[in-house]
Structure 1
Amino acid sequence: MDTGDNSWQLQKFQDWLEANGATLVKLELRECGQHGNGVYARETIRDNEQYANIPSDLIITSAVCRKELKDVLSADLSGRALLCAFLIHQRFVCTESFWKPYIDILPQTFHTPLHFTTQELLLLHGTPMEYAVEDRRSELCAEHKRVQEAVDSKADEMRKVLDFDNYLWAATVVSSRAFTKALLNVGREDISDTKKDNLNQGNTGAKASVLLPLLDMMNHRPQARITWLVDSDSGSISFVAGSDVTAGSEVANNYGAKSNEELLLGYGFCASSNPLNCYHIKL
């Protein structure tokens, strides 16, 4: 995911996190080449050590989206559609909001097949991915139309920027970064457990979804072990290492049991030597 040269934006984002109650003492945010941005260990993180905490005020929930869009929507939205409307409004309309440091570090371009050129799409001809792309595009077109209809007729600025290209950008942010809201209802969750893939990152579709600044910056490593703790009183989320991470190494997340087809469609990359890779055949 291409984010451009944005080291100053990453520093501003980290300052924003810490100013609003997040703790990430042993972490460093930086660009990591073709992978966009990443999270790295400033100091060695030990197995079972808590290394970051995000307060509930920095979690983008449906309630947050509805509050920010109260003067924009004339009909209710939910799931991915609501998050997409929020993201477009924050990026293009409400450009000086509380969430700006987070919005500024999001990728502006993606490399999922939904963003392929005509020539690139020809490479998928006859494959299951070709049909998956067609189905996803059709689904997003219908969803985009529903969002357009939900925007108040007087919200001129929002209506001007609510074209399909911007909606596709927002939908890809959601598919590659959002988590299902079920995450907030557990006390301690080991997200390396592939049996609990419904809690993991990406492709949340119509489910109730949340965006988690910082956690959604961690890149994927198959079978990486990371545990999160949800404080039942404050709603904050803490990250706990499932193994040692040496100083200077990348701190990875685990997006769940996903084949390279799923990773390419939802995130725009494939994992080399993916132990969970498989090939789907449409009969």
Structure 2
Amino acid sequence: MVSAFAFSRRTITTILIITKILGRGTADGGQKNETCPSDEEKIARFDGWIKSHNLPVNKLQVRSIPGYRMGTVAQQPIRQGELYISVPEALLIGPERYQSGTPFDRLLGLVQQNSTADLSRILDSKSLLIIFILLEKHMIPDSLWRPYFDLLPQNLTMPMFFTHQQLLALQGSEVADAGREERRRARATYQGVREHVFRARRDLFPRRRFTQAEWLWASGLYDSRVIQLNRHTGRGNVPTFIPLIDMVNCRESHDQTFITFNPETRTAEMRADADFAVGE
């Protein structure tokens, strides 16, 4: 499966370099279909991807929902407190993707050789995850998470993405101030990463892929989807993207219905906060 944009010869060369560093193969010889898939096609691909990984427990499916683009519904009746979704650690995107000794860490080592800054001082966990996601999205045609990335919303509605006119309409409110501040911080972070990471190895981070707009998009996803999950590594809660679970629209309580990590099965689990009938 390949992404929906055409690759230039230079970009293909870059992809080959990155996939070799990350230990991946490329897609089947290049671009197959440059048309943008519909939401229904994206859902079908994501559903096939989820099924291919044989989740220990999965009583959900993704559907198009009028007014909400898409969301999850119950495939079978679910009782309050029941375990209804369990996502294997192999599908999670968290610190294990950039920790010492990983392919991504080795790639950053190449960047460090050309950078004038100490990357360990300027790249926090959020920046590292954003870089990882943008690399996987733009530079790895057969990324493990391709169906997940394709399903993510491209237009976010958080305050940091409000237009100037929308912010003016909210002038004086905490929402407007928060939106401006979030955008200011995200832009400042991008400027630092662009200067010390992207510009240090433009062959690995092409300018037209690693833009400020893409950085803000990934930053927005992080702020709205990342779950602080205790992975039982001794580091407490760590920021983690959990495909499918991050699409569930329900309350997270402080009893047995919150998201947890099962160290025995190595899965992220979620229990129901209420009873749900099929289709709810």
Q: What is the TM-score with the length of structure 2 in the denominator?
A: 0.71
Two-structure CA RMSD over aligned residues (Å) = 2.8
Instruction: Identify the residue that residue 153 of structure 1 maps to in structure 2.
Output: 200
- Correspondent of 1:125 among 168, 171, 178: 171
Instruction: Identify the residue that residue 193 of structure 1 maps to in structure 2.
Output: none
1:40 is the counterpart of 2:58: no
Tell me the distance in 2 between the aligned counterparts of 1:248 and 1:40: 5
Which digits, 9 at most, give the CA deviation of each residue in 1:23-80, with x for residues without a partner?
A: 4543221121232321101111122322221111111112214646342543343321
Q: CA deviation at 1:220?
A: 4.4
Instruction: Identify the residue that residue 245 of structure 1 maps to in structure 2.
Output: 276
Q: CA deviation at 1:113?
A: 2.1
Distance change in 2, residues 1:56/1:152 (3 Å): farther
Q: How many residue pairs are counted as aligned between the two chains?
A: 227
% of aligned pairs identical?
Answer: 23
Which digits, 9 at most, give the CA deviation of each residue in 1:180-208, with x for residues without a partner?
A: 24x3239xxxxxxxxxxx97xxxxxxxx4
Q: What is the TM-score with the length of structure 1 in the denominator?
A: 0.71
Distance change in 2, residues 1:152/1:210 (3 Å): farther
Alignment of 1:76-95 (within 5 A): 76=120, 77-95=123-141
Tell me the distance in 2 between the aligned counterparts of 1:83 and 1:71: 14
Distance change in 2, residues 1:104/1:68 (3 Å): farther
Tell me the distance in 2 between the aligned counterparts of 1:68 and 1:101: 21
- Please say if residues 62 and 78 of structure 1, whose CA atoms lie closer than 8 Å, have aligned partners that are also in contact: no
Which amino acid in the other structure matches residue 167 of structure 1? W
Instruction: Identify the residue that residue 107 of structure 2 maps to in structure 1.
Output: 71
Instruction: Identify the residue that residue 107 of structure 1 maps to in structure 2.
Output: 153
Distance change in 2, residues 1:215/1:118 (3 Å): same
Which amino acid in the other structure matches residue 198 of structure 2? V
Distance change in 2, residues 1:23/1:36 (3 Å): farther
Tell me the distance in 2 between the aligned counterparts of 1:45 and 1:101: 26
Distance change in 2, residues 1:220/1:228 (3 Å): closer
Which amino acid in the other structure matches residue 231 of structure 2? L
Q: CA deviation at 1:214?
A: 0.9
Distance change in 2, residues 1:6/1:224 (3 Å): farther
Tell me the distance in 1 between the aligned counterparts of 2:178 and 2:58: 41
Tell me the distance in 2 between the aligned counterparts of 1:12 and 1:118: 36
Tell me the distance in 1 between the aligned counterparts of 2:130 and 2:59: 32
| Ranges in structure 1 where 5+ consecutive residues have no aligned partner | 187-197, 200-207, 250-283
- Correspondent of 1:218 among 242, 248, 253: 248
Which digits, 9 at most, give the CA deviation of each residue in 1:103-144, with x for residues without a partner?
A: 111111111222222222211212222221222122112211
